[in-house]
Structure 1
């Protein structure tokens, strides 16, 4: 979710016309050109600056491959396009946190394959991935999604109410879904504690909240046996724009009391907003992710495979007894 440069709407060159629908819809009708949003699609594979106005030939090639992959995949329903477009209006500088259509479809297909009845998501944002997963789950399934931003939690609740994922849905014009989505508002550990009090266990977990908290969330889930024996954790952004490649050296330098190579001779910039890229600040997020990756790799309780797709996805499962 964080620092996502994947395209936000379908990669085909069609326009998505947005019309007002319920509280989550934009206030005005706008046409969103997919090609204008189709920047660098998989920054973790390039090692280049994804904010560059002029993409390298390698970046352009990867962009074309992702656009091709998306165009050859069955499109998700139009409601997902509208939600992506709405995210751009509500969060113009941070809408990139939303998973791409291709990743959302992958997660939906994963739900269809593994058939989880209970799914935990840490990091709701606008509700795109929760809705995608819910549509792939078997009848009676529940997604528990946790969000600490009150604004995002409110907007996602309205979305789930409008599309009949909420048990309290009053919208009679929409058929009630076979699966439900429950929003838990609060920080990650507090939300996990509330779910533990309810004695809930999960067949699948999508970890996509603040990157500095990944290790703590992971440990809480495993230490409290909140993952079923055949359950799995899908952790997002585990390559973090490829910046994890620099983390080992930075951590060695820090342990030795030496300044990191990325900060030598450079004045530190103040981050004026979430939309600005700051190499030192972003590298620290990547360092948190690298620490998480090492922690999981060395945990004797689990098996893990790190997939170099999107911004990096780790699939984590308990070891078989």
Structure 2
């Protein structure tokens, strides 16, 4: 999951006060900036350094467009606001890995339109997108979500238990949801192998895990016929802050043995404790993985794809009709 544009966090933006009121979010009031968790409509079309904290006039305008779009859309229920705030509390520097409310609502609408009975998500994090999609699925649907980080997997399980998405929900007075969410803990490829052993196939897949493994995830799903005939894959972050625009030249230079210009002047940005450091070169490396994935899907005769320049780039991938 991409570190979602923390350079857009500015003290001048409107501050929201969210009251946390559940077992997974201790009772307290916490203020946070809109931009901390809400990406602009299309941050990938403006030239910027993803490690920078400077906001240009153009970026400010895009932030305003995002805020307008968000304000003119039907809001998701309060539980999603509380989860965003809780994510910021638990993961103060990487909470932006969660999808924005606007993207979460888009994915929920997509579920309502396509009515998938079985959905796979690679990359749970705190469970926001899983919960948003589950609320849009038809009665009796099951969503399987895979998460490598044990802490995030535990917290998301608690969330799904609290809100009655789990089959084991024991909360009195809480009505069981029509859709079940099952957390599969482990790295993406191992989780896919386990699900394949259970002979599971999916009507929809949301791909939002390790960017370096996007091609491997995609190939495993298609090679093992885990996608139904009318199913689709929605791949997130396929523009990767616009850095994919530099990938072709970098890959040509690498093949020719030339040094990459983007390795100069690295500016480091600290992540959550234990996560190491990010810099522009690291961002560009992951963008190169995404560019390789984009080309791989485009050239795959088994599918049709449309890459949508919204949020941080969403690719909608469907099996080609015979």
Q: TM-score range by the shorter chain?
A: over 0.9
Aligned to 1:127: 127
1:156-305 matches, cutoff 5 A: 156-263=156-263, 266=264, 272-273=270-271, 277-305=278-306
Residue 21 to residue 57, structure 1, CA distance change in 2 (3 Å): same
- CA drift at 1:96: 0.7
Distance 2:59 2:285 in 1: 24
What SS does structure 2 have at the residue aligned with 1:295? Answer: helix
On the 8 A contact 1:40/1:60 being kept in 2, the answer is: no
Provide the alpha-carbon RMSD of the alignment: 2.1
Aligned to 1:30: 29
- CA drift at 1:57: 1.8
On the 8 A contact 1:16/1:82 being kept in 2, the answer is: no
Unaligned runs of 5+ in 2: none
Distance 2:80 2:216 in 1: 31
On the 8 A contact 2:306/2:315 being kept in 1, the answer is: yes
- CA drift at 1:35: 4.3
Q: For 1:210-266, what per-residue CA distance to the aligned partner results, in whole angstroms no more than 9, with x for missing partners?
A: 000100000000000000000000000000000000000000000001111212xx3
Count residues in correspondence. 314
Residue 110 to residue 237, structure 1, CA distance change in 2 (3 Å): same
Residue 184 to residue 117, structure 1, CA distance change in 2 (3 Å): same
Residue 13 to residue 269, structure 1, CA distance change in 2 (3 Å): closer
Residue 206 to residue 246, structure 1, CA distance change in 2 (3 Å): same
TM-score, with structure 1 as normaliser: 0.92
On the 8 A contact 2:232/2:316 being kept in 1, the answer is: yes
Distance 2:268 2:46 in 1: 26
- CA drift at 1:53: 3.9
On the 8 A contact 1:304/1:317 being kept in 2, the answer is: yes
- CA drift at 1:18: 1.9
Unaligned runs of 5+ in 1: none
What SS does structure 1 have at the residue aligned with 2:228? Answer: strand
Distance 1:114 1:4 in 2: 27
Residue 269 to residue 65, structure 1, CA distance change in 2 (3 Å): closer
Aligned to 1:60: 60
Q: For 1:1-27, what per-residue CA distance to the aligned partner results, in whole angstroms no more than 9, with x for missing partners?
A: 31212889xxx95734323411x113x
On the 8 A contact 1:40/1:50 being kept in 2, the answer is: no
- CA drift at 1:48: 1.4
Aligned to 1:69: 69
On the 8 A contact 1:119/1:204 being kept in 2, the answer is: yes
Distance 2:208 2:104 in 1: 13
Aligned to 1:310: 311
Distance 2:269 2:77 in 1: 37
Distance 2:279 2:252 in 1: 21
Distance 2:217 2:312 in 1: 20
What SS does structure 2 have at the residue aligned with 1:262? Answer: helix
